[in-house]
């Protein structure tokens, strides 16, 4: 399977490490031989080689700066590479713009139209245009996969789509943003907001512009993706109420704790007949509730079904290898033989 990487930031670097590490396992278990033919990154440079790019060399080069001194330079930008490349699947991992979904959405439309499978961890295009992109993928007989957009490699979307197949889901509720959960957890220890936000950025949990996390927009994008993917609606982020954590002080957190409660930024969706309602906002959760014990950057989601009652999945929601892994899951689903 020939892969094209659009964006070579943390997520795709994590994916590259996994591809190097798991090369033999992928061949043995899934008959999957992965060759990266192109890398296009706005800042780090672009490479193209139909015979395959040396991933170890590319990782080493970006550790020391960029790709610009390596062989197989490609002169064009990302749209040019997508238009010209001979590839089976595109990995779209440019920066997330939750308001416009660009430039990622244009990249995805172009790749699907050229009959490439697409996987993305980019929430913008999926929150804003999922029904359209799914239709375009179907028309071109390829897959559009996006496991990494919601709680990274912790397999929430696959769990719902495959493992809970046949269940009627009435509610989805949980901690969908690692950065804010980490901040609230640390603030409970008495640390000031600014200090823990900075630490969350250093640890690589926060988005490039951390407003996206602390104002609740990242969780909002995720509930929009879940609404459209799970409930089959065509809703936009602005149809949900959204409040972040910026108004919560250390004193509020201590007061809640004294009353046996803990603040969590909760995203929730409920299906009533054909209508889906949802919101993102801080809630004081009883300490005995399963979501109250989920601390740090960990995410957790409870799915309410007619078959099993409540099913809760807990796992990492952010990180280099974790999100890289989500992309690997999609690549295996698109090209592996099981």
What does the binding site for ligand HSE look like in residue numbers (CB under 6 A)? 152, 177-179, 205-207, 213, 218, 317-318
Longest dimension (CA), the chain: 63
Of 222, 236, 257, 275, which residue is the catalytic one?
A: 222
**Considering just the CA atoms, what is the radius of gyration of the chain in Å?**
20
Q: Please state the φ and ψ torsions of residue 103, each to the nearest 5 degrees.
A: -85, 0
Q: What residue has token string 């603040």?
A: 263
CB of 218 vs ligand HSE, minimal distance in Å: 5
Contact (Cβ atoms closer than 8 angstroms) between residue 207 and residue 121: no
CB of 180 vs ligand HSE, minimal distance in Å: 7
Q: Please state the φ and ψ torsions of residue 49, each to the nearest 5 degrees.
A: -150, 115
* Residue 318: HSE in the Cβ half-sphere, 13 Å Cα cutoff: 25
Q: Is 222 a catalytic residue?
A: yes
CB of 95 vs ligand HSE, minimal distance in Å: 12
**What sign results for the dihedral spanned by CA atoms 149, 151, 155, 161?**
negative
Q: Please state the φ and ψ torsions of residue 125, each to the nearest 5 degrees.
A: -60, -35
Q: Which is nearer to ligand HSE, 114 or 199 (CB)?
A: 199
Query: What whole-number distance in Å separates Cα of residue 315 and Cα of residue 308?
Result: 20
Q: Which is nearer to ligand HSE, 116 or 294 (CB)?
A: 294
CB of 214 vs ligand HSE, minimal distance in Å: 10
CB of 210 vs ligand HSE, minimal distance in Å: 8
Residues in contact with 293: Cβ distance below 8 Å, sequence separation at least 6, in sequence order: 287
- Which amino acids are annotated catalytic? 222
């Amino acid at each position: 399977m020939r892969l094209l990487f659009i964006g070579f930031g943390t997520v795709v670097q994590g994916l590259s490490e996994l591809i190097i590490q798991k090369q033999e396992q992928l061949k043995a278990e899934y008959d999957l031989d992965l060759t990266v033919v192109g890398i296009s990154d706005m800042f780090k440079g672009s490479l193209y080689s139909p015979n395959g790019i040396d991933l170890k060399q590319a990782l080493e080069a970006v550790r020391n700066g960029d790709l610009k001194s390596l062989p197989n330079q490609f002169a064009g930008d990302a749209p040019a590479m997508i238009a010209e490349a001979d590839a089976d699947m595109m990995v779209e991992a440019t920066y997330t713009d939750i308001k416009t979904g660009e430039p990622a959405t244009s990249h995805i439309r172009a790749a699907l139209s050229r009959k490439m499978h697409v996987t993305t961890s980019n929430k913008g295009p999926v929150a804003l245009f999922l029904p359209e992109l799914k239709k375009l993928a179907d028309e071109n007989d390829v897959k559009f996969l996006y496991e990494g957009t919601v709680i990274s490699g912790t397999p929430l979307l696959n769990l719902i789509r495959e493992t809970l197949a046949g269940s009627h889901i009435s509610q989805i509720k949980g901690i969908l943003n690692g950065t804010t959960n980490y901040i609230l957890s640390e603030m409970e220890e008495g640390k000031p907001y600014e200090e823990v936000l900075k630490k969350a950025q250093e640890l690589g949990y926060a988005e490039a512009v951390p407003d996206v996390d602390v104002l609740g927009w990242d969780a909002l994008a995720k509930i929009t993706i879940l609404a459209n993917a799970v409930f089959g609606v065509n809703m936009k982020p602005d149809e949900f109420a959204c409040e972040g954590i910026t108004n919560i002080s250390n004193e509020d957190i201590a007061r809640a704790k004294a009353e046996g409660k803990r603040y969590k930024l909760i995203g929730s969706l409920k299906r009533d007949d054909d209508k889906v309602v949802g919101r993102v906002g801080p809630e004081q959760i009883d300490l005995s509730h399963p979501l109250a014990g989920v601390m740090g950057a960990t995410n957790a989601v409870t799915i309410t079904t007619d078959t099993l009652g409540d099913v809760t999945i807990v796992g990492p929601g952010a990180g280099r290898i974790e999100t890289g892994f989500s992309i690997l899951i999609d690549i295996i689903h698109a090209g592996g033989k099981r």
